[in-house]
Amino acid sequence: GRSRAPRLPWEGANLIGTLVGNIRIVGLIDQGGMGQIFEGYDEKLGRTVAVKCIHAERRLDPRAKARFLREAQILSQLAHPNICAVFEYVEGETYDFLVMERIHGRTLKHALQQGLSPEERFDVAESLASVLAATHSKGVIHRDLKPTNIMLTAEGTLKVLDFGLARFLRDTREDRDFPSEVSREADEASQDSPPSTPSRERTDATPLGSS
C-alpha cells in the first residue's frame, strides 16, 4: 500500500533509529549517488525488511521520483517467488521509502565465479525463464537483467532484484521519444546501480545508484 510519512530532517541526518510507520530503521546496508538502502525492523509484524530511499536532492528531480515510484508500482504487480517482493511505498515531503523483502545471499555473478553444478545452473535458467514469463505477461520489461541484479539465497532460491529501470510495455513509446534519457538512465545504472535488496552477506554488492 501507499501511505504518508512524517517529515524527516534529511540534510546530514542519521536515520538509524528513526521510526517510519511501524518500521524502525536499524542499520545502513548500502549507499551511493542516488540514495541509500537500510535494514528495517517492522515492530508490528515482527519481521526484518529492506528500506530503499532516494536522497532529498534527487527526489526533487521529477524523473528520479517518477522512476522510483514506477519501480514500486511494477513490483507491486509482480507477485512471484523469484522476484523481490515490495511491501509498501511511503511518501514524504522530503523523501520517499520503498519497503521491500530483505534478501540474504550472494549474487549470481559471485555464484558463477565460485562454481555451480549443472543441476544448479539448470535451476537458475528455469527460474529466470519463469520470471521473464511472469513479467512479460504483465507487460513489464526489466531492462537491466544481469548477474549482479540476481541473487541466490542460502536455500538456493533465485531472486531477481533492481527494477529501477523497468518499464511497462505501454510506456515504450516514451523510450522512443526520449532516447537520450534512456541512454542516460542506462549509463547511470551501469556506473552506480544499487541492489534493490542487498544484504550484509552480499559478496558482490554494487554501489547504490539506480533509484
Active-site residues, by number, are: 144
Residue type, 209: G
Do 182 and 203 meet the contact criterion of CB atoms below 8 Å apart?
A: no
Q: Where are the beta strands (DSSP E) in the chain?
A: 2-4, 19-20, 23-31, 35-42, 47-54, 86-91, 96-101, 105-107, 140-141, 150-153, 158-160, 167-168
Helix (H, G, I), strand (E, B) or coil at 27: strand
Would you list the DSSP string of 95-147?
A: -EEEEEE---EEEHHHHHHH---HHHHHHHHHHHHHHHHHHHHTTEE-S---G
Q: Quote the cell numbers at residue 207.
A: 554501489
DSSP H or E run through 80: none
Q: Which three cell numbers stand for residue 180?
A: 537520450
